[in-house]
Amino acid sequence: MALKLLYITNNPQIAKIAESNGVDRIMVDMEYIGKALRQGGRDSVQNHHTLEDVRAVRESVETAQLVVRVNPIHEAGEDYTSSEDEIDGAIANGADVLMLPYFKTAAEVKRFLDCVNGRCHTILLLETKEAVEVLDEILALPGVEEIHIGMNDLSISCGKSFLFELLTDGTIEEICRKVRRRGIPVGFGGVASLGRGDVPAEMIIIEHYRLGSTGAILSRSFCNVNKIDNLEAASEIFFRGVREIRTLEEICEFHRKFFIENAETLDKAVKEAAAKKRAEKK
């Protein structure tokens, strides 16, 4: 099954280009509360999209799912409404999916799910070590539909200097195993265009398949609209980039099927041989 690719933008024209080139999800990113402080000046994406952006992108996309990342659970303040009002506003303006970031407790997740109350699909963005520690409790909550592991914040929370260290120290593998065991879709991190990234994107995509991931975010470097001066250039980047990812996925899927079929054949052969051995002893 192909990865669900997600791209973050509040530009309706770019959203349409991404959609027309096979991107499955467009995210309008409203999260900003506390983000700059906790990321400590790192070169990470920090947006401050609005409900007006949600409405504009909703009018632009047709087949892609519109994802809205809301702020972490919070009360109303001088500069923002409560989580409940923010969630209601995102749904009213056309969100297909709501993503909850930076939670630490099952109580926060429950408050989010209770407020959504089945009105749209939900994704929990797992990106704190505290949430990882209570993941079993979170997964036991009714209404948990999908998990995405936010590797940038989680690496900070875990004291790592580089986000992809979580792929090699067993952290992501253990989380994926635990979530998949519950029958819940799980994705992680972001990917650049093939051949690019601090770690080549093709290595990361192959790891997605090994771990049974269902989704990835297209990173800022995949198509940095701040460095593109026309829509034709953006269209070419999406056309070429998504096509290359899908081609690699076909290879990954072939090998995954090969190993699954081999395991099934092996299981049958072992059972038949064991039955024969038992019969010979009688």
User: Cα(100)–Cα(73) distance, rounded to whole angstroms?
Assistant: 8
Please report which confidence band the pLDDT of residue 44 belongs to, taking 50, 70 and 90 as the band edges. Answer: low
Please report which confidence band the pLDDT of residue 88 belongs to, taking 50, 70 and 90 as the band edges. Answer: very high
Domains and CATH numbers, the chain: 4-252 (3.20.20.60)
The amino acid at 5: L
Distance of CA 126 to CAs 69, 82, 103, 138, 166, Å?
A: 13, 21, 7, 10, 13
Of 68, 62, 70, 69, nearest in space to 18 by CA: 62
User: Cα(275)–Cα(128) distance, rounded to whole angstroms?
Assistant: 49
Only one residue has tokens 């930076």, namely 102
Residue-level pLDDT at 46? 64
User: Cα(109)–Cα(138) distance, rounded to whole angstroms?
Assistant: 7
Residue-level pLDDT at 19? 98
User: Cα(147)–Cα(282) distance, rounded to whole angstroms?
Assistant: 52
Residue-level pLDDT at 189? 93
Residue-level pLDDT at 52? 97
Q: Which residues of 206-245 are buried (b: 16+ CB within 10 A; e: fewer)?
A: bbbbebbbbbbbbbbebbebeeeeeeeebbebbeebbebb
Please report which confidence band the pLDDT of residue 229 belongs to, taking 50, 70 and 90 as the band edges. Answer: confident
Please report which confidence band the pLDDT of residue 39 belongs to, taking 50, 70 and 90 as the band edges. Answer: low
pLDDT in tens, 103-141: 999 999 999 999 999 999 999 999 999 999 999 999 999
Distance of CA 161 to CAs 41, 130, 151, Å?
A: 13, 18, 12
**Has residue 143 got a pLDDT over 90?**
yes
**Has residue 35 got a pLDDT over 90?**
no
Tally the residues of the chain. Answer: 282
Residue-level pLDDT at 1? 72
Average pLDDT, the chain: 93
Residue scoring higher pLDDT (220 or 28): 28
pLDDT in tens, 187-223: 999 999 999 888 999 999 999 999 999 999 999 889 9
Does this model's pTM top 0.85? My answer is: yes
Give the mean model confidence (pLDDT) for residues 228-238.
92
